[in-house]
Structure 1
Amino acid sequence: MLVEIWSDIGCPWCFIGKRRFEAALSRFDHASEVEVCWRSYQLDPSLPERFEGSEVEYLSKVKGMDPAQVSGMLEHVTAQAAGVGLNYRFDDLVVANTFTAHRLIHLARDLKGAETAAAVKEALLAAHFEQGQDISSHDVLAGIGAGAGLEPDAVREVLAGTGYTDSVDSDIAEARALGVSGVPFFVLDRRYGISGAQPEEVFTQALTQAWQEGQRPLQPVVPEGGACAVDGSGC
């Protein structure tokens, strides 16, 4: 069974959703027969390579909300992250465009396969939300690639050019074709779509249903929630 997950490295709910899905998958009887493929998505393609300001300042600007309200929202997300073992540090977070980081994930998949791509995805999320690293920096990305077994100089060479730009663009276009308007978004065997960082039991139910039932058009199994939307809502 194929599970495709559209997410953005700059989306705090995507890391939480990753943990909740992984918890469900670890208890799924057929987990060894499930292939997970990480797909690219960008919540804000217009973001400069690096935003000179805090996450609160950035989200306040994007959403037109009072900074105090944004701070409260981030506190809620931080608490949710802590519930799945993540230590979000929004005060240290570097607001950066994620496009080049997505290219690194595609490079890792092409060179080393899905497991290496997943390791890079994990490392990117941790670097962004827990370690205060600039994920637009080619040096940071080369280091993350090296940690997953990629040659740093080869990573720098690819990222200095336009390699895998088409792959990222294709993922984003496919998400739009599927009607994805926020992330994380999970597609199970092209049978079920799950929007948001849903509770573990929702993923468990969906995995079981997708495994048991035959091919059918994509249909949502839960209402949207716990997701970052393109319009800035939910983050």
Structure 2
Amino acid sequence: MTSIRIDIVSDVVCPWCYLGKARLELAIAEVQDSISTEVFWQPYQLNPDYPPEGVDHQKELAEKLGGVENVARIHENLKALGREVGIAYDFDAIKIGPNTLDAHRLITWAGIEGPDMQDAVVSALFKANFEEGRNIGSRAVLSEIAGECGMDSRVITALLGSDADKDTVEQAIAAARDMGVAGVPFFIIDGKYAISGAQTPDMLANAFRQIAAEKSSEQQKLN
């Protein structure tokens, strides 16, 4: 069985990233009999200039996307795509547009406990924001989510109250931009293949098969 590493550059307030995660999971399930995958989440901020307390999400989105009607049209499209993969987007429930730096710090700490914990926290953050309307810029909410996922919420509360790993997250975001990442989700396979956007499960699965076949061929040549 060939093993591949998948790094996903993502922001937890990006609806396409949530869709991309669900589609990725379907793609992985499709190839799991022949390809072993490890998934790691890398930070990106769509709105790095948002203040710590966040902004009025609905107002900001309307200004950014050219009005309420455009927002509604885009959201209806996303809701339909979400239903196909089990996501129940509730865009009306989102009141605060958060700064996601602290959320990415939490994802970083979850990664220390392993890929499974990191994946669980990422899933919980997406669900909290897009389905439950919780403010994932709130440190209290982040500590709650950490606890719900099995992390020590008291430790997370203490870490969030410090500057721990702010530089780490900011440097990783800068590195992604320097690499040319201008939109998310952005998938990096084995550190050398790139796939941009929330591609369909079939497209991702075929890409994984092709990459795994090339990797297997290269290993056979070396042996």
Verify same fold: TM over 0.5.
Answer: yes
Q: Do the aligned partners of 1:6 and 1:40 also contact (CA within 8 Å) in 2?
A: yes
What are the Cα deviations for residues 141-179 of structure 1, in whole angstroms up to 9, with x where unaligned?
A: 111111222111100000111112122113212211321
Q: Could you tell me how far apart the structure 2 residues matched to 1:8 and 1:160 are?
A: 21
Q: Do the aligned partners of 1:5 and 1:185 also contact (CA within 8 Å) in 2?
A: yes
Letter of the aligned partner of 1:156 in structure 2? Answer: T
Cα deviation, residue 214, structure 1: 4.3
1:36 aligns to what SS in structure 2? strand
Q: Could you tell me how far apart the structure 2 residues matched to 1:77 and 1:41 are?
A: 21
Give the match for residue 175 of structure 2: 174
Q: Could you tell me how far apart the structure 2 residues matched to 1:103 and 1:84 are?
A: 27
Poorly superposed stretches of 4+, deviation over 4 Å: none
Q: Which residue of 98, 101, 121 maps to 1:99? A: 101
Give the match for residue 30 of structure 1: 34
Give the match for residue 21 of structure 2: 18
Q: Are 1:44 and 2:47 matched, yes or no?
A: yes
Q: Could you tell me how far apart the structure 2 residues matched to 1:21 and 1:124 are?
A: 17
Give the match for residue 61 of structure 1: 63
1:206 aligns to what SS in structure 2? helix
Q: Do the aligned partners of 2:53 and 2:138 also contact (CA within 8 Å) in 1?
A: no
Cα deviation, residue 69, structure 1: 1.4
Give the match for residue 6 of structure 1: 9
Report the structure, 1 or 2, having the larger helix content: 2
- Identify unmatched segments of 5+ residues in structure 2: 217-223
Greater alpha carbon shift after TM alignment, 184-193 vs 3-12? 184-193
* Change in CA separation of 1:190 and 1:52 when aligned onto 2, cut-off 3 Å: closer
Give the match for residue 204 of structure 2: 203
1:91 aligns to what SS in structure 2? helix
Q: CA RMSD of the aligned region, Å?
A: 1.6
Q: Could you tell me how far apart the structure 1 residues matched to 2:180 and 2:126 are?
A: 24
Letter of the aligned partner of 1:189 in structure 2? Answer: D
Q: Do the aligned partners of 2:43 and 2:172 also contact (CA within 8 Å) in 1?
A: yes
1:34 aligns to what SS in structure 2? strand
Cα deviation, residue 75, structure 1: 1.5
The total of aligned residue pairs comes to 211
Alignment of 1:147-226 (within 5 A): 147-214=148-215
**TM-score for both structures, normalised by structure 1:** 0.85
Cα deviation, residue 205, structure 1: 1.0
Q: Do the aligned partners of 2:40 and 2:115 also contact (CA within 8 Å) in 1?
A: yes
Structure whose alpha-carbon radius of gyration is higher: 2
Cα deviation, residue 52, structure 1: 4.3
Q: Could you tell me how far apart the structure 2 residues matched to 1:105 and 1:192 are?
A: 23
Letter of the aligned partner of 1:137 in structure 2? Answer: S
Q: Could you tell me how far apart the structure 2 residues matched to 1:124 and 1:66 are?
A: 27
Alignment of 1:67-86 (within 5 A): 67-86=68-87
Give the match for residue 144 of structure 1: 145
Letter of the aligned partner of 1:42 in structure 2? Answer: Q
1:16 aligns to what SS in structure 2? helix
Q: Could you tell me how far apart the structure 2 residues matched to 1:159 and 1:107 are?
A: 11
Cα deviation, residue 46, structure 1: 0.6
Q: Do the aligned partners of 2:54 and 2:137 also contact (CA within 8 Å) in 1?
A: no
Q: Do the aligned partners of 1:3 and 1:188 also contact (CA within 8 Å) in 2?
A: yes
Letter of the aligned partner of 1:59 in structure 2? Answer: L
- Identify unmatched segments of 5+ residues in structure 1: 216-235
Q: Do the aligned partners of 2:19 and 2:82 also contact (CA within 8 Å) in 1?
A: yes
Q: Do the aligned partners of 2:10 and 2:17 also contact (CA within 8 Å) in 1?
A: yes
Q: Could you tell me how far apart the structure 2 residues matched to 1:148 and 1:52 are?
A: 27
